[in-house]
Chains A and B, each alone.
Chain A
Amino acid sequence: MIRAGLTSRPGRPGELMAERVDIDPIQGRAPLIEGAATFHDITETVARPVEWKPPLGWWLVFGVSVSLLALFLVSIAWLFWEGVGVWGNNVPVAWGFPIINFVFWVGIGHAGTLISAILFLLRQRWRTSINRAAEAMTIFAVMCALIFPGIHVGRPWVAYWLAPLPNQMGTWPQFRSPLMWDVFAVSIYGTVSLIFWYVGMIPDLATLRDRAKRLVRKRVYGFFALGWRGSNRQWSHYEKAYLLLAGLATPLVLSVHSVVSFDFAVAQLPGWHSTIFPPYFVAGAIFSGMAMVVTLMVICRVAFGLKRLITPLHFDRMAKLILLTGSMVAFAYVTELFIAWYSGNLFEMFTARNRALGPYAHAYWLMMFCNMAVPQIFWFRKARVHMPTLFVASILVNVGMWLERFVIVVTSLHRDFLPANWGLFKPTFWDIATLAGSFGLFFTMFCLFVRFMPMVAMSEVKGVLPEAQTDEETAAVPASEAWQES
């Protein structure tokens, strides 16, 4: 219950920054939304980027993103024409970049679900300013992720063999394989994330419908708003559906990266065959995804004038989550090394030594630096609210997390049990072009999202404003009903 700034409510948004109250006198916490904004202020702030002509910066980012997207399409076209030989993957490293990129992108998506579902269930009301953008990030990341196994199968025109469909050969998928679990886990994760995102956006799409001046806008937003009337009978079902979707998405997101880790852990390869993988992968996924949210939000809050909605407080908390999950990842790295030594297993010990001292040692130590050392800066509050530090650190974390997947995939495969089978992996131009191109797809989608959709969940932010709090609520709220607040 944020009472800060309730007493003084200046009329114009420009005046708000000057006399904002930093600390809630009752709870001793900083307010979620800076300044004493009114409901209408929130609508204006969020709807403006969608209704105004985009700033020059948007066109610049969009132009670069679309160029990279074109590179992505060219890379895929060339791949389809020539075959997977255009990539560097070859025995013994048959997985290479496509699987590294797949795991990387799925991981990015997980922070979106953490923010939208898990923090919702934990009644973390600060999530309201960033959850919409984080959910959008999830969907675009899963789109990027799903493309990689699809184009990696060699003959993409028969990728439908992955699905349990009747076919002319009379064959069916093998459901005891984690790769098959992965097909279900990731595609259902994408579907449920899309549903969750869309259902949460219906009231805000109705806002854009009601503000639209031009008929086309009114029709298009109106179509997707489904005729939302903000009636309490609708809100009642909406909130219950949203709560249940959050409850379903929470175990789903934990299961998805666990299943992704089974792709490795179920194999007998040293460096993969490890029971620590599911929690280690989930923590790593949230770690990298949080960093991506920070990267995107640092840019968006400046570019689209959302500084009052996305405050240093939000970055402070996201940085703490990066520190927490980063420390879990660091713990997993150390545990892996310890178990390699403690197991006394020749092959495990060799893999650990080969990672640290072998031909890919540079990737290993850069990963160690980015994932173990860099997040430690967030022990300091100054770093947690300093935008340039956040920006650089969050990018380094994602570099580190991409390298982690590189280390896992490549260093385990390139030297396995028999030295006669050893080999080296070297990415080709098309490997790197496809990776860069996937960022093009991701940022193109994100640019279109901030241009055409409400970037911040208006109806949720309005619900955490001081004005929205009713007397009944400031009295004791039973825990069972408290979810309704956010």
Chain B
Amino acid sequence: MERSSSPYGLLARFRGPEPLLTAARALRDAGFKNWDTHTPFPVHGMDDAMGLKPSRVPLFVLVLGLGGAAAGMLLQWWVSVRAYPLTISGKPFFSWPAFVPIMFEVGVLGGATGAVLGFLGLSKLPRHHHELFSSAAFEHVTDDGFFVSIEASDPQFDADVTPEMLRRLGAVDVETVMTEEST
């Protein structure tokens, strides 16, 4: 099996959150699509600066939360009316007010599951191997590094022009990240 490397894209380091925001706005306006900013903490205003749409995690929470609540009520109805009807103090088998607490709790469990699955699914995690991890400088992203990454697959990407553009935007260091493909 032979291995050949091709450029994955560029990784540019910036001095801090403020220059990164400026760069992000410029890249958004230049029409880049397959790019991202990497920061040790969520930088306020970055979603707008990058032109990102609002996250769709709430949809997962809504669907699974309501689904959980419905499942909780259905379970109690089925157990109390169909599977094992018990007469308690002459109350009806489907005495639903008594079933509200468990319905609520199971709904919360569903919503929390939705939040996690939505977050992981939409962020494409877990993914333990990524081209960017091959960069030594990228280890600082979880400490005090502020980065922009642009993939070579982006239609606006130009191996000669884009690094220069990033430097003009204030990047202190621009490196090319390679991808290893087995052929």
Residues of A at the B interface (CB closer than 8 Å) are 38-40, 43, 164, 170-176, 178, 180-181, 184-185, 188, 191-192, 195-196, 199, 203-204, 206-207, 209-211, 222-223, 226-241, 244-245, 248-249, 251-252, 255, 259, 262, 458-460, 462-463, 467-473, 477, 481, 484-485
Contacts and interface: CB of A to CB of B under 8 A. Distances in A.
Interface in B62-90: 65, 75-76, 79-80, 83-84, 86, 88
Contacts of A239: 42, 55
Contact of A233 (B52, B61, B105, B128): B52
A231 B119 CA distance: 13
B126 A231 contact: no
A241 B116 contact: yes
A180 B102 contact: yes
A244 B61 contact: yes
A196 B111 CA distance: 12
A227 B125 contact: yes
A228 B91 CA distance: 53
Contact of B130 (A38, A172, A227): A227
A192 B106 CA distance: 11
5 contacts: A174-B86, A222-B128, A226-B120, A232-B36, A468-B43
Contacts of A485: 44
Interface stretch (B1-9, B135-143, B162-170, B174-182): B135-143
Nearest to B53: A236
Contacts of B149: 231
B61 to A, nearest CB: 5
Contacts of A484: 42, 44
Contacts of A175: 76, 79-80, 98-99, 102
Contacts of B10: none
Contacts of B83: 172
Contacts of B16: 467
Given A229-B132, A236-B52, A191 B109 contact: yes
Given A175-B80, A241-B57, A188 B108 contact: yes
Contacts of B54: 240
Given A203-B142, A227-B127, A233-B123, 20 more contacts: A171-B84, A172-B79, A174-B86, A175-B102, A181-B101, A191-B109, A196-B112, A199-B119, A226-B120, A226-B126, A229-B38, A232-B36, A235-B39, A236-B42, A237-B57, A248-B61, A249-B112, A251-B108, A470-B21, A470-B45
A230 to B, nearest CB: 5
A211 to B, nearest CB: 7
Contacts of A255: 101, 104-105
Residue in A227, A249, A251, A458 with the greatest tally of chain B CB atoms within 10 Å:
A227
A226 B125 contact: yes
Interface of B: 16-18, 21, 24, 36-47, 50, 52, 54-55, 57-58, 61, 65, 75-76, 79-80, 83-84, 86, 88, 91, 95, 98-99, 101-102, 104-106, 108-109, 111-113, 115-116, 118-120, 122-123, 125-130, 132-133, 139-144, 149
A241 B39 contact: no
Q: Which residue, of A173, A191, A241, A245, has the highest number of chain B Cβ atoms within 10 A?
A: A241
- 3 shortest A-B CB distances, which residue pairs? A241-B119, A226-B126, A39-B144
A178 B116 CA distance: 29
B39 A232 contact: yes
A40 B126 CA distance: 26
A470 B47 contact: no
B57 A472 contact: no
Given A176-B95, A211-B143, A236-B47, A184 B130 contact: no
A240 B58 contact: yes
Contacts of A207: 40, 142-143
Nearest to B80: A175
Contact of A188 (B18, B58, B106, B116): B106
Given A39-B144, A237-B119, A484-B42, A164 B105 contact: no
Most buried by B among A188, A211, A230, A460: A230
Contacts of B119: 199, 237-238, 240-241
B15 to A, nearest CB: 11
Contact of A459 (B40, B65, B118, B140): B40
Nearest to A176: B98
Contacts of B141: 210, 229-230
B55 A473 contact: no
Given A173-B79, A175-B99, A240-B57, A188 B105 contact: yes
